[in-house]
Chains A and B, each alone.
Chain A
């Protein structure tokens, strides 16, 4: 690797972006980031309000990326860290700390106050962590402690949401009372309102004074954002609002100051249109801000799981310290009811721990000495001491949060398509508004105009409008009603809800594309050993051909002692307790997929499957019928040859997992084909498959050929999910449409596969498919709401029904409908919060039968 290559190593970060409201915003931010020289790719998620950027650190810096985002009118909110730093003296200490911190990538501002021992740091937590900042200060020789609440820095997303909600609440508090006054003033002479509403409120000057601060206060954001975008050749839905509000307001102002200009006359001021447009659009944003953040509740719950403080034992004394000061090797005391501060191993004591929040396991898990503990889980009963093994970003909880957060910044194919459509939609809508204006100006007005008809939600009869005012109103209504914000929100909001829901059950989707692919699989291929079975086989039969059972078992154990295969362990385990002494071996060699060989007392000993014996011309004919009988019983038969002659048959069986059968039944009920892949011979594999109700068996498959088998299924047009061990089955997992790594435990980051199951339970495969399908169902529903709304609303706004019904949609009504569409999408998404995968809901639909003994494959490398 050259120096240049090293320099060009791409870096990936996730930046928080606030101010995005629609799919067009997503495209703007992506476009702006991609235009920065040195950025390889940028992917923005609207619902998560985050941008994932892959860039060349040598060519571009984090502030450059931040600048690209802020230049087009969005914000990259930074986190703030308030620290108490002791040991500082007036003079150079502040300069030194400030200089050191400012050199860190992602640190934006540092204020050091020696007098109050305080250091305030503003930083981008996508680029640098609070732990790293504190570590830098500690390395300079100072003591550091948090000042005040840490919650805000931990839960940035909630802070951003609060900020957005606060902003939109203020806008609401201004827009709605003022909008209502403008409406009352506009309708002052109507119905019975003249009895209650003072006459001056209907005066155009008064309406002008009320509406102007509304348009340039809460409505200002639309003009500023759309102008910022246009300057960079980008459009978004703010442009639709700005054009709509601007047009209504300008006509109103012209008619106020120059009533004879012919823009509809003195009465047609349109102030109420401008005011209500602002009010309804702000209402839409408020509702979105209110509901959108709740979609990612699951992640926030995970973030909040980790205790903030830990009790550390040092020199026999107990010290309560902030959790990020716990270091690997520290001994922590965990009391009943307390959260486990970091990942570790129990060194003293006994307890039951509730791990449901991380693994989805509903029952408390017993913890004894040498058992692993997971940060964020809750100690239920006893008190114990644990040794910290993983802290900070290495902890399982941190890895899970990162995995889910990363997943939420990726895009499903369906989402990319929706974003693309929505991105081009804005220009299309403006073109449509232009065409509609020209049509109603030159053609429609002359053919169908009726003076007595009214626009819904306005006091005007159309008679008060000239041809220009009439065509303009329809054109503006088209602009307002067409906003694609619901389209932009439909997919990412559902994906966030789905990935969050999966995390609740210990199912980690590595990207939105994984969710989509999981929902589409029609074939699930399960690796046998360790997936359907416990992977803990034991010896059941020894058929001695030459020598005694014990002699042969000892010989087999001696040969297998150097192997790590589960079958080998079973044979070695069988000698324990028998007091057998194992002979010395030499020249051990493993034959992948077939078995092992070694030299014992000058003779070659072979131990493995039929294929190994065939390769070495060992005659099996004399015991063929016995081998067949054992295999028909579902046991795996291993053949042992000494000096080229068959010496023994050793039968080994594994134990089915309690839930395997139910998982297969449920998957089949969902219409999926279930296949089992194994290195076992066909006869044995068929016996296991029969017990589980699996119809398709891929037997005698060498580990390296599993990927090819998956490929073969794909060539038949199947959408394949491969379930297996994330390490041994990595090629097959990679080849499959969806690779599901099962039983990752707490080290989720190392796992390959698109879906990682924390628990070692096949039922979670079913649950993963159910979550995937529910999420995609939600996506489709949301897109139907969003596109369906636009498909229905645009023709209405364009006046399609006017020639037949005489009814026109007013801009105000258009704004209300637009707000409703976004609201309906977010509300629909929130339904996912209550979703429980059917497999997790209650007792099994097909009761799991008692655990059975099944055979194990005779292959040497894990099947």
Chain B
């Protein structure tokens, strides 16, 4: 798929948000499947995972997408 320069931000947001949400969902799934955790712990943990994942992925994904578009 060809990405325009002005769409870099939007594409990046979609990628890192998606990945972070995926991580959070995986976390939540594990808490549900193991059955040992309350809903609050599961959701709270998933939010924290999402937040940290976003912080890690935002500055990583954005330059990657930008450089790919420029190249």
Residue B56 lies at the interface, judged by CB distance under 8 Å to chain A: yes
Within 8 A of A (CB), among B26-55: 27, 30, 34, 36-41, 44-45, 48-49, 51-53, 55
Interface residue from A229, A261, A472 paired with B48 (Cβ < 8 Å): A472
Inter-subunit contact A467/B55 (CB<8 Å): no
Task: Please encode chain A, from 202 to 237, with 1 for each CB lying within 8 Å of some chain B CB and 0 for all others.
Answer: 000000000000000000000000000110011100
Given A261-B40, A262-B40, A467-B37, answer yes or no on A437-B45 (Cβ-Cβ < 8 Å): yes
Choose among B48, B58, B63 the residue with the greatest number of A CB atoms under 10 Å from its CB. Answer: B48
Residue A263 lies at the interface, judged by CB distance under 8 Å to chain B: yes
Inter-subunit contact A471/B45 (CB<8 Å): yes
Inter-subunit contact A263/B56 (CB<8 Å): no
Residue A801 lies at the interface, judged by CB distance under 8 Å to chain B: no
Interface residue from A230, A243, A434 paired with B49 (Cβ < 8 Å): A434
Inter-subunit contact A263/B58 (CB<8 Å): no
Interface residue from B36, B38, B49, B62 paired with A262 (Cβ < 8 Å): B38
Residue A433 lies at the interface, judged by CB distance under 8 Å to chain B: yes
Bound Cα distance A230, B56 (Å): 10
Number of interface residues of B (CB under 8 A): 24
Cβ of A484 to closest chain B Cβ, rounded Å: 15
Residue A350 lies at the interface, judged by CB distance under 8 Å to chain B: no
Residues of A contacting B45 with CB < 8 Å?
437, 441, 468, 471-472
Inter-subunit contact A233/B55 (CB<8 Å): no
What is the predominant secondary structure among interface residues of chain B facing chain A? Answer: helix
Bound Cα distance A446, B31 (Å): 13
Residue A36 lies at the interface, judged by CB distance under 8 Å to chain B: no
Residue A247 lies at the interface, judged by CB distance under 8 Å to chain B: yes
Residues of A contacting B51 with CB < 8 Å?
243
Residues of B contacting A261 with CB < 8 Å?
40
Within 8 A of B (CB), among A456-503: 466-468, 471-472, 475
Residue A83 lies at the interface, judged by CB distance under 8 Å to chain B: no
Minimum CB distance partner of A254 in chain B:
B44
Number of interface residues of A (CB under 8 A): 27
Residue A676 lies at the interface, judged by CB distance under 8 Å to chain B: no
Residue B59 lies at the interface, judged by CB distance under 8 Å to chain A: yes
Cβ of A503 to closest chain B Cβ, rounded Å: 39
Given A234-B59, A427-B59, A471-B45, answer yes or no on A433-B30 (Cβ-Cβ < 8 Å): no
Residue B60 lies at the interface, judged by CB distance under 8 Å to chain A: yes
Cβ of B59 to closest chain A Cβ, rounded Å: 5
Could you list 24 A-B pairs, sorted by A, with CB under 8 Å?
A230-B59, A234-B59, A243-B52, A243-B55, A247-B48, A262-B40, A263-B40, A263-B44, A427-B56, A430-B55, A430-B56, A431-B56, A434-B49, A434-B52, A434-B56, A437-B52, A441-B41, A441-B45, A442-B30, A446-B36, A466-B41, A468-B37, A468-B44, A475-B48
| B residues at A contact (CB < 8 Å) | 27, 30, 34, 36-41, 44-45, 48-49, 51-53, 55-56, 58-60, 62-63, 66
Q: Which 10 A-B pairs have the closest CB atoms?
A: A262-B40, A233-B62, A468-B41, A434-B52, A468-B44, A233-B59, A235-B59, A430-B56, A430-B55, A233-B63
| A residues at B contact (CB < 8 Å) | 229-230, 233-235, 239, 243, 247, 261-263, 427, 430-431, 433-434, 437-438, 441-442, 446, 466-468, 471-472, 475
